[in-house]
């Protein structure tokens, strides 16, 4: 089940741009599943067994194992033109929902093995990425790009890489929740009752200022999804829910009044949404 863009209410440009930036930052800093294709090489084989992330200095990196069956992973002749795709699914158990994706064209350059140790020591990378990069046959590459496309229920938004990688205080992609906190964030949504979730959806669908309807379309559904509300995503900017009613899937974004950068802040913002949204019915 994949949300598809249909419409976004007018007057929400700043809110939606902040949301898209947050999505892009989370995706590039390690959320989701990354794959790449080197479109100048033959055969054209996707490299999918990758870890990805960003260094403390703002470099986008990927780690993988050299595999003779995947030419991009064994390339050693300088920068290689690639397409990188990062796809993130919703944190749901009962149904698979594609929450968002990032796509970019750029160049990949694998670091010489002798440089990897020093590079990761200074990069501040996720330990699992470092483990893969430093394993037997492991490789670490830097990807250079100028533009990132963010694709989700709100549509497709192009962002400059510099905008994604640079925060107001200099570097740092402020990405919360990261992959390590995602399920803790999802547990907060799981603590809400069905009535509260339906109340938030109803408020968003009927013009509540904090709500934006991202998409609505006819969907072939199973009996266990009918009448349900699913969590598509929750991040520092707000909560995204999908409701399934009479074979129609609708996706709504509910914006927090202030960003959340820790689990306790996220719990507070979510509580505020419930009080305001369910009270607006």
**Per-residue model confidence as pLDDT tens digits over 141-158:** 999 999 999 999 989 999
The per-residue pLDDT for range 211-230, each reduced to its tens digit, is 999 999 887 667 778 889 99
pLDDT at 124: 85
Cis previous bond, 43, omega within 30 = yes
Task: From 281, 280, 259, select the one nearest 269 (Cα to Cα).
Answer: 259
Helices (H), the chain: 13-28, 113-123, 127-133, 161-165, 182-190, 194-205, 263-279
pLDDT at 184: 92
Position 68 pLDDT exceeds 50 = yes
- Which pairing describes strands 33-37 and 229-235: parallel, antiparallel, or unpaired? unpaired
Task: From 2, 11, 15, select the one nearest 254 (Cα to Cα).
Answer: 15
Helix axes 263-279, 182-190, angle to 10 degrees: 30
H or E element at residue 156: strand 155-160
Q: Which domains does the chain have, with CATH numbers?
A: 13-175 (2.30.110.10), 183-279 (3.20.180)
pLDDT at 229: 95
Question: Using 50, 70 and 90 to split pLDDT, how confident is the model at 167?
Answer: low
């Amino acid at each position: 089940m994949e949300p598809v863009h249909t419409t976004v209410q007018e007057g929400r440009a700043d809110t939606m741009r902040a949301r898209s930036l947050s999505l892009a930052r989370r995706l590039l800093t390690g959320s989701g599943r990354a794959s790449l294709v080197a479109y100048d090489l033959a055969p054209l084989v996707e490299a999918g067994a990758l870890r990805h992330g960003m260094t403390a200095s703002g470099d986008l990196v990927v780690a993988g194992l050299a595999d003779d069956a995947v030419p991009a992973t064994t390339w050693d002749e300088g920068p290689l033109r690639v397409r990188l795709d990062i796809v993130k699914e919703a944190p749901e158990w009962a149904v698979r929902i594609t929450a968002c994706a990032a796509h970019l064209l750029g160049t990949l350059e694998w670091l010489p093995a002798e440089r990897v140790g020093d590079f990761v020591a200074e990069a501040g990378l996720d330990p699992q990425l470092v483990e893969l990069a430093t394993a037997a046959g492991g490789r670490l590459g830097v990807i250079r790009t100028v533009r990132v496309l963010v694709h989700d229920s709100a549509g497709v938004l192009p962002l400059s890489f510099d905008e994604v990688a640079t925060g107001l205080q200099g570097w740092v992609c402020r990405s919360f929740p990261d992959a390590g906190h995602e399920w803790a964030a999802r547990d907060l949504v799981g603590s809400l009752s069905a009535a509260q979730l339906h109340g938030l959806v109803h408020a968003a669908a009927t013009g509540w200022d904090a709500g934006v309807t991202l998409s609505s379309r006819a969907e072939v559904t199973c009996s266990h999804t009918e009448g349900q509300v699913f969590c598509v995503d929750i991040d520092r900017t707000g909560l995204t829910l999908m409701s399934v009613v009479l074979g129609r899937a609708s996706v709504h974004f509910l914006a927090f009044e202030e960003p959340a950068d820790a689990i306790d802040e996220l719990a507070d913002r979510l509580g505020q949404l419930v009080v305001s949204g369910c009270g607006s019915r």
